[in-house]
Chains A and B, each alone.
Chain A
């Protein structure tokens, strides 16, 4: 089975530009999570969805960040306008409801650099 797929793998953009990150969860998984990882703050949960519905977006740092999940196989995280402090690795993860452990599986990540 294919794992979590993310695109692009690397993104370099200039301050003020719009950035869109994409994620395809593992087929059959009900939960989708967006994380951000930096050296200073570690791995932070930004937002998560259950059955395509956003459940908790309290980790989204500012209104410049938004996320959507139009169907079970696709989600986007958008930053508009981007700032240099948004530079980080963004991971998408998914899990399946009803499993004993709620294990999450991560995609390869998108390394974002905002100049």
Chain B
């Protein structure tokens, strides 16, 4: 089983819709979780961090964490074409390193 799994997509949503991106992880000792956005040809950009069960909201973004089920998700409300990118889920096991999923490509159509 891969340590961090994401559906590769693409996930296609119309402009204004809610995009839901999911990630599962295998190591129960994982402590903190991150969502990075990566535009084509660019570097990963940190957009959300979460380490407690429940929801964390930042503008149009909401991260959701369920440690019992070992999944973390990212909701993007009022999706815009500029949100079209690959979203990488990353997991920290309490050490300094992150394990990344391969990412989900999101396409938002006007």
DSSP class of B's interface residues: helix, strand, loop or mixed? strand
DSSP class of A's interface residues: helix, strand, loop or mixed? strand
Contact between chains at A31 and B96 (CB < 8 Å): yes
Contact residues in A for B22 (Cβ distance below 8 Å): none
CA distance A101 to B63 in the complex (A): 14
A56 within 8 A of B: yes
Segment among A11-19, A72-80, A106-114 that sits at the interface with chain B:
A106-114
Contact of B45 among A42, A50, A101, A106 (CB under 8 A): A106
Contact of B44 among A31, A43, A55 (CB under 8 A): A43
- Tally the A-B contacts, defined by beta carbons under 8 Å: 50
What number of B residues sit within 8 Å (CB to CB) of A? 21
A102 within 8 A of B: yes
Q: Closest A residue to B102 by CB, please name it.
A: A42
Contact residues in A for B43 (Cβ distance below 8 Å): 91, 106-109
CA distance A50 to B95 in the complex (A): 12
B100 within 8 A of A: yes
Q: Closest A residue to B43 by CB, please name it.
A: A106
Q: Quick one: given A33-B97, A45-B97, are A103 and B34 in contact (CB under 8 Å)?
A: yes
Contact residues in B for A2 (Cβ distance below 8 Å): none
B80 within 8 A of A: no
CA distance A104 to B97 in the complex (A): 9
* A38 CB to nearest chain B CB (Å): 10
Contact residues in A for B102 (Cβ distance below 8 Å): 42-43
A interface residue numbers (CB < 8 A to B): 31, 33, 42-43, 45, 48, 50, 55-56, 91, 95, 97, 100-109
Smallest CB-CB A-B distances: 5 pairs: A42-B102, A106-B43, A43-B100, A101-B49, A101-B32
Ordered by A's residue number, 30 sampled pairs between the chains whose C-beta atoms are within 8 Å are A33-B97, A42-B100, A42-B101, A42-B102, A42-B103, A43-B44, A45-B98, A45-B99, A48-B97, A56-B97, A91-B43, A91-B44, A95-B96, A100-B32, A101-B32, A101-B34, A101-B49, A101-B51, A101-B92, A102-B32, A102-B92, A102-B96, A103-B46, A104-B90, A104-B98, A106-B44, A106-B45, A107-B43, A108-B42, A109-B42
